[in-house]
Chains A and B, each alone.
Chain A
């Protein structure tokens, strides 16, 4: 079965020849001179490509260049996007070159990285680009050979006609193809005929990364460029006075610039600025709330107990159900602030030139960077270009444009090209964080251990709704009340990989474990019973697909040999986020009296897997990330300043702290869904539930290693 799609008006494909005779296919019209045939070198194709930010171009030599519009931060989009285009084109992957496209809101839609949304959003567009190119190449070959297009086949960049015995590579037909009209409808390949999608394709930037070529924003240097480092104010404070005499005296410092509540030291290289920044004498005074972690703990408890809350979901009569309950289970869970801490610290290059501005660097949201710059400079956004470098991680931090704005401010004042570089201390103390949150859960059980009511109240900071009210177990319980309370903090906060769910999933999956045990039921069977209820007789709105969730639960139960080996203490967790389903089982084995975390088994349903290497990376990486922060991550505040300022006190997970991770992907016919985030949320829950199974200690706060329940547990982590 093939899928036929009609391109929307916005996406209507246009085709044009180029002066050099290549074929370029993009999503918007661009004019150009009449084609003339010329053999292009790869370098020529690449330089030519700069003018055509289309999805792909094909040169007369048959080389295919595919433009990847979305920022690459390790989610492997720069490899998987072109795989989809090449698949529908039936290109030879060996002849494909990939180019990171610059920001172009005319040509690309949703040119950002966040929410695990790039692939689900672009799946059809990418397929359309590839299949349209194939259509016109086939039409050109049919015209050249005077044979029916339907009799033509394409394989690995070679167009063939069996009847006449003719064949040729893509490049031989690009000139003719450039005169063709794009079809209004394209026919996609049958998924069973995929030759590139679903196969392990290696990272397209591998060679450059492993030989140290400049790829990242911090690697960008330009002749005459100035460097800047910035001292930012504590949260809730403003500058009272600045004494920059000692900073200015440092050799290599050219200027000290104060803007807003920031002070920038500017010079021709980085090291003198690091020294000078420490010599700034800045006095601050309170401007708003100057907060400490102790304040947050107190505020959480007050707001949980207060009557003020926004109702997010209400089914049945919760009060009556709790009144009639045979047993009530209640627990509170809390997590601390976390920094995003991408390995490449924040940085950006800006060159303000009158009413124009050039921006180059790592950003998850290039258009936000441009709009922010336009606002600061009071110039039209069209006057600003944004070149997207490879990102040394993001985790949500580079959704913000604060560090881009700084580069723009300093470049404007200095009237020169400027690169702003953050130190690690800046990254940990400069915001914007995953905020702390506290949840209170309550469950009512009847005589038979059925959950008759479920209550959740979440208190967050700058978080709006801290719940996912239509997610499991909603829909499986008659009486539900889900509420949220928000506190406005002066500490800047931001989406952090799997926003809200990065902690909510742990809290909820741990609490369901508590309820299952109180109900005297096996934790997996307890969830399956609830899911069965949601399937046969759902209560209210369901924000998840019950069958897909049952699918991963059952597969994880089977793959992990759940409950089969009494010597293996297991913890279960399952979560739906970013359109994908992940179930996990953590295995702890007692060795010489020491609980040893040996393995995490993960089953994922993310629809069709584009690239098994990338998919494995995202699931294992998500689990390592989730585990590291649940175990060790902690950022605490004193008077608006984080106490942990570098990796000596802010602990990230290391090589010796990761167990074996076994990954499974369900084979389904669904289109690809998100994968950059969904494996992270269930991780804390599977581990905490296994720790409970092994030790009887229930961990209700993160990081685990700082909880008193964990203080005498010597958890060993070792691969099986």
Chain B
């Protein structure tokens, strides 16, 4: 066990965990931030996507020892009141079915639009291809990302 100082959603946290503990489980089990989801645990589905220094990252394979002083943003910290353009677009398009993967989808979309504010539909498809939605809401995800790009 070791002490790690983390910066998550603009706040400092201290946790005492093994250094191989994935950021995902630190967020969920130790910081009570359960918006970041566990699904595959092997960087295949994207449900655990968070931002580290603005880059979308699979938190399920990110050991806490590698996070250091980086700025971690989770779905809970993406905006003050759920009013990030991507969150608003998700509400407007009414994307979710079961909704379990959507926090990861939103985090992926938000990071992508920051790096590519005016994407083509093909670019949206490429960017969102790393996140699985078992309910098959892909059409709506695509529509919502395009809407967020337009309305930001």
Contact = CB atoms under 8 A, between A and B. Distances in A.
Most buried by A among B35, B39, B87, B99: B99
A52 interface: no
B129 A655 contact: yes
B75 interface: yes
Contacts of A214: 34-35
Contacts, number: 178
Interface in B29-86: 29-30, 32-42, 44-45, 47, 74-76, 78-79, 82
B91 A207 contact: yes
A600 to B, nearest CB: 11
B134 to A, nearest CB: 5
Contacts of B98: 73-74, 342-344, 390-394
B129 A656 contact: yes
Interface residues of A, number: 65
Given A207-B91, A344-B37, A655 B136 contact: no
A425 B40 CA distance: 8
A215 interface: yes
Contacts of B137: 617, 621
B136 A653 contact: yes
A613 interface: yes
B142 A655 contact: yes
Contacts of A392: 37, 98-101
A635 to B, nearest CB: 15
Interface of A is mostly: loop
Contacts of A656: 125-126, 129
B82 A251 contact: no
A75 B34 CA distance: 23
B97 interface: yes
B38 A212 contact: no
A670 interface: no
A343 B45 contact: yes
A212 B34 contact: yes
Contacts of B103: 209-210, 212
A390 B35 contact: no
A646 B44 contact: yes
Nearest to A621: B136
Given A270-B25, A392-B98, A646 B34 contact: no
Contacts of A459: none
A226 to B, nearest CB: 12
A73 B96 CA distance: 11
Interface in B91-145: 91, 94, 96-103, 106, 121, 125-126, 128-129, 131-142
Nearest to A344: B100
Interface stretch (A19-27, A198-206, A525-533): A198-206
A212 B35 contact: yes
A393 B32 CA distance: 22
Contacts of B79: 211
Nearest to B99: A209
Given A648-B42, A656-B125, A658-B139, A270 B99 contact: no
Interface in A481-515: none
A73 to B, nearest CB: 6
Contacts of B126: 656
Contacts of A342: 98, 100, 134
A200 B93 CA distance: 11
A216 B38 CA distance: 11
Interface string A95-131: 0000000000000000000000000000000000000
Contact of A646 (B42, B74, B96): B42
Nearest to A219: B34
B40 A424 contact: yes
A269 B101 contact: no
B39 A271 contact: no
B138 A203 contact: no
Interface of A: 73-76, 200, 202-203, 205-207, 209-216, 218-219, 221, 227, 251-252, 269-272, 274-275, 341-345, 390-395, 421, 423-425, 613, 617, 620-625, 628, 646-648, 652-656, 658, 661, 719
Nearest 10 CB-CB pairings of A with B:
A212-B35, A624-B136, A392-B100, A74-B98, A212-B75, A74-B97, A647-B44, A209-B99, A219-B34, A211-B82
22 contacts: A74-B98, A76-B97, A206-B94, A206-B96, A207-B82, A212-B34, A213-B35, A221-B32, A269-B25, A271-B18, A271-B22, A274-B41, A275-B20, A341-B134, A343-B37, A345-B38, A391-B98, A392-B37, A646-B44, A647-B44, A653-B136, A655-B128
